[in-house]
Structure 1
Amino acid sequence: MVATYDEIEIEDMTFLPEDQMFTYPCPCGDRFEILLDDMLEGENIAVCPSCSLMIDVIFEPEDLGEFFQEAGITA
């Protein structure tokens, strides 16, 4: 088990369809990032590229379909 900074609901994250990525503000000033494809494969840890913090993203796999549609791709 990985120690995470916080648990964040997927609804509280920002989805960037052009990058197929979810983001969330990090206390360091950057943002946590996790790719839609990684989430489809079962990954739920978003990392900040600027510091060592990570968050646990809370979501149900069946909820990801709407984001694939928004990104214009089929899962």
Structure 2
Amino acid sequence: MSEQVSIYDQIEIEDFTFDEELQTFSYPCPCGDKFQISLGDLEDGENIAVCPSCSLMVEVIFEKEDLQDFIDQVS
């Protein structure tokens, strides 16, 4: 039996904050923490950012081409 994933919202990648040092994207969560997803996860096709403090998840809306600018920043 597969578990149903409940998505809190869909957020465009340009609304996330990118941390070059950690190579992660973050976005404020209603609980006060931040949703997070790594550049590597996005490159691998993952698109669900998870809040470490609560059970909320958001879907990151992006095109593969959108990632190239971020990849260039950390290269």
Could you say whether these structures have the same fold, taking a TM-score greater than 0.5 normalized by the shorter chain as the test?
yes
Counterpart pick for 1:50 among 40, 49, 53: 53
The number of residues matched between the two structures is 72
- SS across alignment from 1:11: helix
User: In the TM superposition, what whole-angstrom CA distance separates every residue of 1:15-64 from its partner, at most 9, and x where no partner exists?
Assistant: 00100000000000000000000000000000000000000000001110
- Tell me which residue corresponds to 1:19: 22
Which runs of no fewer than 5 residues in structure 1 stay unpaired? none
Bigger Cα Rg: 2
Give 1:2 shift: 2.2
How do 1:1-75 residues align onto structure 2 when only pairs under 5 Å count?
2-71=5-74, 73=75
Which runs of no fewer than 5 residues in structure 2 stay unpaired? none
CA RMSD of aligned residues (A): 0.9
TM-score (normalised: structure 2): 0.91
Q: Which amino acid aligns with 2:7?
A: T
> In terms of mean alpha carbon deviation, does 25-34 or 60-69 score higher?
60-69
Q: Which amino acid aligns with 1:47?
A: V
- SS across alignment from 1:61: coil
Stretches (4+) displaced over 3 A: none
